[in-house]
Amino acid sequence: MPVTDYLEKNATLYPDEVALVELNPEEKDTRRTTWKEFDLIEPTRFEPYRREITWRVFNEKANRFANMLVGRGIKKGDKVAILMYNCLEWLPIYFGVLKSGAIAVPFNFRYDAEEILYCTELAEVDMIVFGPDFIGRIEAHAETLMKGRLLIYVGDGCPAFAESYHELVADCSSQTPEVTITEEDFGAIYFSSGTTGFPKAILHKHQSLTQAAQMEQKHHETDREDTFLCIPPLYHTGAKFHWMGSLVAGSKAVLLKGTRPETILSAVSKEKCTIVWLLVPWAQDILDALDRGDLKLEDYELSQWRLMHIGAQPVPPSLIKRWKEYFPEHAYDTNYGLSESTGPGCVHLGMENIHKVGAIGVPGYRWFCKIVDEEGSEVKQGDVGELCVKGPGVMTCYYNNPEATAETIKDGWLYTGDMAMKDEDGFIFLVDRKKDVIVSGGENIYPVQIEDFIRRYDKVKDVAVIGLPDRRLGEKTAAVIEIKEGMECNKEEIVEFCMGLPRYKRPKEFIFEEIPRNATGKIEKPKLRKKYGADRLVEQENQG
């Protein structure tokens, strides 16, 4: 079944129950507190900005948008890009695209004007739906973007080069469009994170979307009584498909704007959230605020919070140990995935396996995994190789890139580019990205192992280990370290602490600065390598 069937089911079974809440505790709402159709409710002064819609309204808005698309000539297989921050309109628009038979193409809201143009042309987008924050970036190439494309604006004050979303859908039917969709139809194009270069367009069938939704609900046992707190951007497969556990269960979700520790705990408390997906930096910030006494747990109602899970990057075991000290009753899970596997969950730890924290886990629901060497043969238990996954969520291809597709999918197996090993109990441990492995003096060094060690130092907030050019060794190991707020730390302290590492793993250089991470929490190591690697190359050339 296509994932849109779950929305139809919820609108029928739970029409008047809240499906989505948009919440920004840091912004005062002088306009309205709820949102029904296009009518404004009497404003409530001095309240945090909050809007909500029911399952019935959610489905009707998706149907209106779908019928508008069909009426404007969008047909099965056409592509509709979505460029907006998280808001109540985001998911109804996304599902409207799916219901029309078109392919949804979420854009990263961090894209600049050039990247928007690049991804538009790469994915052969037929329509762009965008919000107020992106007017300037769209306008920069409006003349090119308008050629053969529709530009739809969601918000007040529609620019002259676009058409108004609200005006277009106002008179459209709220009935389900007469478009037949199967699991074999194409449903979405997502883009790789770009941490290794220009984004690639990843094409998925509806089967992938349904698999991800069903898997999320099963992994975290989401039921009708749960409330999911969604903080990361919805363009990302992680946020969207973790939310889809709520879609399958027919339960409420909260779209939170803001990542400050007090903002997160306040949302959990006031909205009675039971499941929260965090990124490593946000979890660290919460723990640091609790350590400093800036936050006090007794100020919040958190007894209903049952599960905290993390994905998108390796999770330091020391972080989870600290978390359990403050939240001993919480279940915990970690989820591994990539956009090529429809986001998180092709490998997951499992809530019952907290004793294996540090591992990314075991194959997820309906997934298979293997670890292979350079020739594609499976390595023996305990050896490091490339992680490969296979299941109903594997992408169809990199759109318009057969060479990259052939390199990544072999005999139905998706080669992830991540180096991993399996322990004696069958749990998979992520060692590092294949492209991040440092080769120093002929020795393979895996940065994640060093990062996990350095994070144990109580003054360290974050760390990224990279390879820098070295005339003698080829590469040398450098640790970029971010110190916790309010603390002082010098190189000598870190050097002394790193004496606990094997000699060949000890960083040869230490750099103290803030760690750059993208919107999904991944460390942007290419930026660090470019910044410091280029400087070292110049130094070596001058010395040579």
CA distance 155 to 138: 14
485 vs 522, more confident: 485
What pLDDT score does 434 carry?
67
**With 60 as the cut, is the pLDDT of residue 534 above it?**
no
Give tens-digit pLDDT for 250-263.
999 999 999 999 99
CA distance 345 to 219: 8
What's the CA angle centered on 377, arms 376 and 379, to 5 degrees?
120
127 within 8 A of 155, measured Cβ to Cβ: no
CA distance 520 to 37: 32
The helix/strand/coil state of 177 is coil
Could you tell me whether strands 307-311 and 227-230 are parallel, antiparallel, or unpaired per DSSP bridges?
Answer: unpaired
What is the signed CA dihedral for 305, 311, 316, 317, rounded to 10 degrees?
50
Q: Residue range 34-44: average pLDDT?
A: 36
3-state secondary structure 410-466: ECCEEEEEEEEEECCCCCEEEEEEHHHCEEECCEEECHHHHHHHHCCCCCEEEEEEE
Tokens 């580019």 sit at which residue?
417
What pLDDT score does 312 carry?
63
Give tens-digit pLDDT for 262-318.
999 999 999 999 999 998 888 989 999 999 999 999 999 999 999 999 876 667 788
Q: Residue range 399-418: average pLDDT?
A: 94
Look up residue 147 and give its two tokens.
């050629």
Candidate from 5-9, 221-225, 440-444, 479-483 with smallest mean pLDDT: 440-444
CA distances from 24 to 38, 55, 72, 90 (A): 20, 21, 34, 15
Across 61-70, 331-340, 424-433, 531-540, the highest mean pLDDT is recorded for: 61-70
What the chain holds in terms of domains, given with CATH numbers, is: 54-205 (3.40.50.980), 437-543 (3.30.300.30)
501 vs 84, more confident: 84
463 within 8 A of 449, measured Cβ to Cβ: no
**With 60 as the cut, is the pLDDT of residue 357 above it?**
yes
